[in-house]
Structure formats: C-alpha cells, structure tokens
Chain A
Amino acid sequence: MSMYYAGLLSDIGILLLGALSVYIILATGQLSLGNAGFMGIGAYLTSWLTVEVGLPVTAALIVAALVSGLIGIAVGFPALRLKGIYLAMATLGFGEMVRSFFQNFTAMGGSGGFHGMHHVSTGYIWTWALVILAVIMLIEASPIWLEIRAVRDDETAAGLVGLNPTEIKVGAFGCGAAVAAIAGGLFAHHHVYIEPGNFSFERSIDFVLAVILGGSTVAPGALAGAVMLVILPEYLRFLADWRFAAFGALLIGMLLVRRQGLLDRALFRLVLPRSQA
C-alpha cells in the first residue's frame, strides 16, 4: 500500500472514531455538535501525557478517554434539559469554549500549537478504530442497545416501560466523549502537531456528516461515511476549481438517493436475514 493511501487510511480511521463518538450520542436521539471539543480535550491531554509526563501512547489514550468520558457525563446532565436545535447549539457552544480555552492555554502553546509527539502508525490507529467499532457492534446486539433505541424513538414511552432515560442519555454522552478523546489522541500522534483550530465546530460537523451519509442506524455506517468523506474530495481532484462544488452536489445527491444513509438496518436485514433472533 502506498504511503498516500496509508495517510488517507489514517484520516479515515480518525474520522471513523469521531463519527462513532457522534453515532453513540445520536443513537439516544441527541445531536451533539460539540464532539470536536472532546476530541480537543483528548488530543491535548494525551499529548501532554506522552510529551511531558512520558506515558506510553496507549496508556495516555486510556487516561484521556476516561477523563473526557467524565467530562462528557458532566456535560450530559445539563444537556438533558435541552432538545433538538437547543441541544445542538449548546454542545456546539461547549466545543467552541474548549477551543477558546486551548487558544488561551499558553502552557500548551496557546494558539501557537503544541509539538513533540511521536508518530503512530496507520496500523495502530486502525487497531483502535476497529476495536471500538467492534465493541460498539457487539453492544448493538445487547439489551442496552435496545434500550438506547427505545429512548431515541420515544423517551416518554421508554420511561413508562421501565427504562431509565437519564442513565442512558448521560451514559451515551460519556461514551461518546471518551471515543472522541481517543480520536483526538490519535489525531495528535498522527500529525505530531496540534493547534486549537484543529478542533473547531467544522470538525464536529464533519463527524455528523459522516454518520448521516453512512447511515445513522448501524455502526458500520460511520465507517462508510468516513470513507466517503475522506475519499470523495480526493477523487474529485480532476474537477480542479470546482472540486468542492461537486462535493457539495454529490452530498446532496447522495442524500436524495439514500436519505437514511448508505447503510441501514433494512439493508442489513436483507443481507443477513436472521441476524437478530
């Protein structure tokens, strides 16, 4: 495999993790536009741990995931009060606050950025991505995932059949934040340089885009979406100055053809007839 494809693959792996972080939260019916914030927390925290403290990358990633997960839970509680666009904007605001924080956090370089990490391989990134994807897919066959789907569909009804929406929604926020932090840590150690601008809301929107394009009802959808979002602009290079206009048009076209995303549960049922029994 050429270095070029290896590079793209790394980007896909990181975007996949970012998309999964949105996917988990979206599965409970909450749209988070602030996951770039959690990603930033993960990126800065792991970088600090490996560069300044001298922890190995894997350990740093785990610590960052835990810390970010806790922050996610802390954010998830007040988020319970908010719905729809209000929640989306509040999370976006959170993400921008995180970015603004790192911009002023001169101990880690402020807006000048932070250096010194060691490069991690594409294989390492994908090990994380695949393990997390596999774990999520495993969880999708578990009772808790049914509960998550129930809460997304109809929170009130879910409560009335005995499910605890608070626990599920806040938990999802925590898990999403942890996964986003891992994406951030890997991002930092892939590019070996980070600056606050890497974690602005555009990135959060990319995550959401990957999930929706790929299909928001099955975890591999995030993978399909991540592949498309990274590969598509590359394959449109022949259009030169019109590359992004074509990308936008294709995005709309894709939604028009498959508004449920590339992959969905119906498709899975078709391919794997008795997958859930």
Chain B
Amino acid sequence: MLIQQLVNGLTLGAVYTLIALSFSLVMGILGVLNLAIAELFMLGGYFGFAVVMAQLPLPLALIAGMAGAALVAAIVERIGYQPFRTASVVTPMLSTLGFSIILQNVATNVWGSDPLQLTDEVLSGRFNIGPVSVSAIQLTVLGVTVLLVALLAFLVQRTSIGRALRAVAENRDVARLLGVPAGRVTLIAFMLSGALAGAAGVLIGVHYAAITPYIGVEIGLKAIAVMVVGGTTRIWGALIAGPLMGVVEVMTVAYGGSQIRDFVVYGFMILILLLRPQGLLGGGRSDQGQRV
C-alpha cells in the first residue's frame, strides 16, 4: 500500500504542480496573483470535455482547452491586470477574483452545477507492477508535468523573453526604453499561463472524469500553496513542492487520519515558510533586494 500511496501522492502532486505553474508564471514574474487561474483551469476542463465527448482525440481536447483558456486569460489581462499595473498588489488580485466570480456563474449557467462526467475513461489503460497500479492517464499527467516545468523553466530563466518579462514586471518604462514591447509581453505571459491552466484543466478533468464549476477553488488554493512553498521566482520550485505537498497530503490520509489532513498540510506549508521565508528554491534573491 505504501508504494501505491506514493504513486497517489505523486499524481496529486503533479496535478498541483501543473496548476502551480500557471500561477507562478504570472506571480513569479509579474508579481500578481491571478485568482482567475482557478477558473481558467475549470474552463479548460469543460472545453476539453466537450471535445472528448464529441469523440475527438485527446490532443485536440488539449488544444481546445489551452486555446479557450488563453483567450479568456487575455481578457483578464486587459481588464483585470493592465489598468491596475500601478496599484498595490492586492487590487489586481481582487479584480481577478471578480473574474473568477463571473466565470463560475457563467459556467453554472452554461453547464449547470451538477458534475459533468465522462462516460468512458479516456486512456483507460492500466499498468500493474506488483501491487501497484498506475493508469495511462496518470502517467500522462506526470509526464506532461515534468515536460512543461522544464520548458517553462527554460523559457523564463534562460531566454531573453523571460528576462524581458521580469524587466517589465519590475519597471515597465525602463523595459520599454530597452526595446521591450511591454503591453504585448504581459499579454503573452497571461495567455501562456492561461494556456497552462487550460491544459491542466483538460488533463486533470479527463483524469478524474468529472468536473463542476467550482472545481478550481480548493485545488487552486493548494496550487498557490505549492507555488509559495516552491518559491515564486523559481519554476523548478513547483516541481519539488508539488509532489512534496501531494505526498504529505496523501501520507497524512493514509497513516495519520484523513480528518487532520488540512491541519497537517497547511501546518507543513507554514513550517517550510518559516524555515525558508521565500520558499524552498526562492533562494531569497529577488525578494531580498533591499538596500539603503
């Protein structure tokens, strides 16, 4: 059972990591907590479901989910972020909360509040290795997560686009003086993060095969926790923190008692933050850039 629970924990962790990535793309770089990401994830799920239910292949569902969510993310950026660039960080956080309220309501009106379920499992193959059983979709989620983390880390930390993003976040005018098209760059960041959330929505929706308009809330919260534990400025952080939190959560349920799960999980998060106030990989660089 231990190994099976580890697999459960890792899958859950991968799920967290996937969503944490889209949060950290805008949080780590632009410094805004886009709360609507939880709902972009939900939307991605619904778009993906629509495609899967039309008997179309999974990659197509992924594309639909990513494109749909990226489009909505673009609207969130234009209305919910751009006008609040210069305001305190709480303000864009709340304007994006406005979007998440709207999106939940719209989804309820369009798809209903009942769980929408897939009748057949997509990628239902299972692999049994001894007592452990892993499904194809689980493996897909794990694989895609690692791939996306690597891709994103490369993009943000190694390419000039990532650097440009960070520059815009810190000082928009200066970035423009250096030739960075600031408006376009933030829009791209939001859409990218939206696309990630959408992809996560499709994969995770298909994995659990049931979604509701409120699916993003709890899992979004955990994903933010994962992002914070990993450190917002380092993409790789999420890849460590996600599975860590996933395993802690699952092991608490398995061996400690499921009642105290939230207590333990959040306690663990606080503990890590107290030991490393900028998260595991937050190395404390950009946040500590204070001098007199």
Task: Check if A and B associate.
Answer: yes
Residue of B nearest to A159 (CB): B292
Given A244-B104, A245-B101, A252-B95, check contact A97 B277 (CB 8 Å): no
Which residues on B sit within 8 Å (CB–CB) of A31? Answer: 90
**A31 CA to B88 CA, complexed, in Å:** 11
Q: How far is the CB of B43 from chain A (nearest CB, A)?
A: 14
Judge whether B105 is part of the interface by a CB distance below 8 angstroms.
Answer: yes
Name which of A84-92, A134-142, A181-189, A264-272 contacts chain B.
Answer: A84-92
**A245 CA to B262 CA, complexed, in Å:** 30
Say yes or no: A242 contacts B260, CB within 8 Å. Answer: no
Given A86-B273, A156-B292, A212-B91, check contact A248 B102 (CB 8 Å): yes
Specify which of A90, A157, A213, A252 is in contact with B269 (CB 8 Å cutoff): A90
**A259 CA to B287 CA, complexed, in Å:** 25
**A81 CA to B97 CA, complexed, in Å:** 27
Residue of B nearest to A249 (CB): B102
Which residues on A sit within 8 Å (CB–CB) of B287? Answer: 83-84
Given A97-B262, A259-B91, check contact A90 B273 (CB 8 Å): yes
Which residues on A sit within 8 Å (CB–CB) of B232? Answer: 85
Interface centre among B232, B263, B267, B292 (most CB of A within 10 A): B263
Say yes or no: A255 contacts B262, CB within 8 Å. Answer: no
Which residues on B sit within 8 Å (CB–CB) of A26? Answer: 90
Judge whether B290 is part of the interface by a CB distance below 8 angstroms.
Answer: yes
Interface centre among A88, A89, A247 (most CB of B within 10 A): A89
Q: How far is the CB of A133 from chain B (nearest CB, A)?
A: 21
**A132 CA to B88 CA, complexed, in Å:** 26
Specify which of B80, B88, B228, B261 is in contact with A252 (CB 8 Å cutoff): B80
Say yes or no: B102 contacts A97, CB within 8 Å. Answer: no
Scoring A residues 1 to 45 as 1 if CB is less than 8 Å from chain B, else 0, what string do you get?
A: 000000000000000000000000010000100000000000000
Judge whether A101 is part of the interface by a CB distance below 8 angstroms.
Answer: yes
Judge whether B16 is part of the interface by a CB distance below 8 angstroms.
Answer: no
**A209 CA to B90 CA, complexed, in Å:** 9
Say yes or no: B262 contacts A85, CB within 8 Å. Answer: no
Specify which of A93, A104, A242 is in contact with B266 (CB 8 Å cutoff): A93
Say yes or no: A259 contacts B262, CB within 8 Å. Answer: no
Say yes or no: B278 contacts A245, CB within 8 Å. Answer: no
Binding site for A on B (CB under 8 A): 27, 33, 79-80, 83-84, 87-91, 94-95, 97-102, 104-106, 108-109, 221, 224-225, 228, 232, 259-263, 266-267, 269-270, 273-274, 277-279, 287, 290, 292
A-B contact pairs, 10 of them (CB 8 A): A83-B287, A84-B89, A86-B278, A93-B267, A100-B260, A156-B290, A212-B91, A244-B102, A255-B84, A260-B87
